[in-house]
Amino acid sequence: MTDDSSYSTPYAQTYDEAFRVKESTKVLEQYPTRVPVIIEPSDSRMQKLKKRKYLVPRSLHVSALTHIVRKQLELKGSEGLFLFCDRMVLSNSEKIEDVYSKKHALDGFLYIDYRLENAFG
């Protein structure tokens, strides 16, 4: 579990901690096979996803989540997408439930940010 003080995401700044805890608790009780994830760009100038809250299956690999984010951002093949949690790049082979168990915030959400890089040239 990660200390909330390290998170200054737009979502965490928009909603107070009590609201976020209530929301994540409700989701975890209602959907025990999924985890609540907030996905936001690492830089406010970057392209944003249409939504930032996701209920991600625990068994999903990071590579599959990366693919979902790529499709939603409509990225070109030459653009690399990297997912980070707690300032560390996520391994594509890791399952979301493993990332969640190690890195979720005190409010119950897993905060993931993404960065784009030109992969070729």
Chosen CATH of 4-118 out of 3.40.50.300, 3.30.360.10, 2.60.40.290, 3.10.20.90: 3.10.20.90
For the entire predicted model, the pTM comes to 0.90
**Helix or strand run (H / E) with residue 82:** strand 79-85
Per-10-residue mean pLDDT, the chain, length 121: 61 93 97 97 89 97 97 88 94 97 96 86 55
Q: Tokens 């990332």 belong to which residue? A: 99
Q: Strands across the sheet with 34-41, in order? A: 53-57, 34-41, 110-118, 79-85, 88-89
Domain residue ranges in the chain: 4-118
CA distance 80 to 77: 8
